[in-house]
Amino acid sequence: MWVLSVVVLAISLIFGTHQTLPPAVGDFLQWLAPHDGAPSAFLVALGFGIGVVVEALPTKLLFRYFSTAVHELGHAFMAGALFARPKTILIQPSSSGLATFELAPNWGRFRSFLVSAAGYPAPSIAAVAAIQAVQRGHSQAWAVFSIAVLSIAIILLIRNFWGFFWTSGVVIASYFGLKLVSAQWVGVGVAGIAGFLAMNGIEFAQIQVKLVRQSPGSGVDAEAISQVTRIPAGLVASGHLLVCMGISGAAGYFAIQPYWSEIQKWTTGLI
């Protein structure tokens, strides 16, 4: 599980930080998706914007489990990368989730902090990585990577009916979508999911802030971090929110970057 966790995190960070892909990785992606490509800048921005709008509407109830799954996988893979053994992920119909893992020997406060801190920023980080992957012409490759991660989660980690049902449905639908849709429209779909994750990640962090203030002892990540760092849970939750806002803002900026100067001129004209 350690190797798998490191590979998943490394791929996400390589795309998320816009690093140059090693030649062997580039060759593998070419083999994996020989007809891959990127949508136009307009379609990437449009897809991201649609995802943001969907998150603001009641329809978000159909898609919020994306954020839950990514959140819990963030915990699980961070734990695996730090030599713990991820055991289970539960995804509930309420969109709450829980990741459990078996501690490694000599497990200390720093590793506990990293695992607890990894969940809330995960959807925002995934949004940045997805946008960067699409803009670099790896729309299908990123979609295959995402489907593979969810498939691995089904086999190794997800252990409740709703989590299994929802995740399996996404994997099956995505598999047939990849076979039927061109790389351009796959990229639009990935950008749309990125927009949703970016906004929903912020909303989940806002909910944590409210829970810490209104329902102490609810067991949210901020309280777990507070126990090992002695930092007040409210301050930790606010830090989570600021981090998510910053990373999600970066995802939005990358998505609309080709039109940034026009947007600045438009907003200046309004002022």
- Measured between alpha carbons, how far apart are the two ends of the chain, in Å? 53
| pLDDT tens readout for residues 203-246 | 999 999 999 999 998 889 999 999 999 999 999 999 999 999 99
Two tokens, residue 47: 């897809």
3-state secondary structure 134-183: HHCCCHHHHHHHHHHHHHHHHHHCECCHHHHHHHHHHHHHHHHHHHHCCH
What's the confidence (pLDDT) of residue 32?
79
Q: Which of these, 77, 89, 107, lies nearest to 10 by C-alpha position?
A: 77
| Dihedral in degrees, nearest 10, Cα atoms 127, 128, 133, 137 | 100
What does the mean pLDDT of the chain come to?
Answer: 90
How far apart are alpha carbons 138 and 35 in whole angstroms?
10
pLDDT band at residue 264 under the 50/70/90 scheme: low
How far apart are alpha carbons 230 and 49 in whole angstroms?
39
pLDDT band at residue 51 under the 50/70/90 scheme: very high
**pTM for the model:** 0.92
Check residue 61 and report its DSSP letter. G
pLDDT band at residue 259 under the 50/70/90 scheme: confident
pLDDT band at residue 268 under the 50/70/90 scheme: low
What's the confidence (pLDDT) of residue 200?
95
Find all residues with CB under 8 Å of 55, minimum gap 6, and list them: 63, 195, 196, 199, 200, 203
pLDDT over 70 for what percent of the chain? 96
How far apart are alpha carbons 186 and 103 in whole angstroms?
39
